[in-house]
Amino acid sequence: MNPPAPQFLAEGDPHFAHIAFALLGTGALGLIATSTFYALAGPQAALPGGAGDIALARTATESAAGWMRAAGLAGMPSDVLLAVGAVMLASMKRGPGAGLAVAGWLAMALAGALFIVVDAMVALVLPPAAITPHGEAAYAAQRALFDALFTIGAWTAGLGALAAAWSSHWPEFRWRTALWLLRAAGVVGVLANTAHLLGLPGAALIGPGIALLAVALLVMAVAARSSPRNSDPVAGSNVSGLA
């Protein structure tokens, strides 16, 4: 007796793909706002590589506490939406090229989970630590953890974006702009964060790489939601490589 055919979560629910892309698009929109707040907070206070001088970083963090709190409060729910949407998209993949696409979307979901912690730290941990009397050592340790989690989270997101966008046949890439934006975000994310982890220049591109990824995901979600209603939201056709 032949084994039963695998069942996919999206099958039988005509709203599954629409929900997935709505979550992804809403999360991406929130991530764009979050990236703006991080930029307004400044690299010394809230981005990897900005805490070379702990005294200056603590002063910058105290001054930017409002923007950091806004970044974290916008970022945490956005991270949740992005993670859930990415898992749902992973579950929709089947056929040729599905393995790499599933790995990519699951990696981006994992990055979302890491950034929940990162955004919680930027909003609720680093600002109080910056104003604690004689708290230089505690702030330095917390900032080092924040920088490490931010960097590996952004690296994971970049690698996931490259994997998800490796094949161009998936329905969410009907707009080629979305495909190439996601690939560009992946390249920037992997290269910038790898360089920073190795102690090389690259930290300045980490934040822009995340912002570019957010724009790519938003464009992709809009493209998918704008696709014809009679198109298959689960499977693609005409598999191609990196083209």
pLDDT in tens, 209-233: 999 999 999 999 998 877 654 344 4
Q: Where are the domains of the chain?
A: 16-225
The mean of the pLDDT values for the chain is 88
- What crossing angle do the helices spanning 16-41 and 206-225 adopt, rounded to 10°? 150
d(CA 158, CA 14): 30
Which pTM value belongs to this model? 0.87
> Dihedral of CA 125/126/132/135: which sign?
positive
d(CA 235, CA 218): 20
Which parts of the chain register pLDDT below 50?
1-8, 229-243
Which two structure tokens, joined as six digits, stand for 136? 């230089």
d(CA 52, CA 204): 13
